[in-house]
Amino acid sequence: MNYDRYLELQTRLEWFYDFHPEFFDDIPPEQKKLLQDTFLYDAPDEGYPESLQDFYDETISGKPTLQHDALLAVDALYQAAGVGSLFADNEYHSLAD
């Protein structure tokens, strides 16, 4: 997952959290925590990094297992929300393997 895809998903998760926070209660707690720690959608202002690019570079880039697990958690959220699978999107289909 490159930075552009990360940023796209981060924006989607912020929208989900702002308008439908109940969907986050429908996924396993460990996946919810992974989403919180990876995409920062509910981070307090004082805990939010100054640069999201730097956060991505230091925390997510080059960590394929973390990226894979985070994408599976996003997929679980999508399915809980009833919008289908993240991996049905052609941009993410190849990442499902």
Q: For residue 10, what pLDDT is reported?
A: 94
Q: Left if phi > 0, otherwise alpha if psi is -120 to 50, otherwise beta: which for 47?
A: alpha
Q: For residue 96, what pLDDT is reported?
A: 43
Burial of 95 (0-12, 13-18, 19+ CB in 10 A): middle
Q: How many Cα atoms within 13 Å fall on the side-chain side of residue 51?
A: 7
Q: For residue 48, what pLDDT is reported?
A: 87
Q: What is the pTM of this model?
A: 0.86
Across the range 41-45, mean pLDDT stands at 85
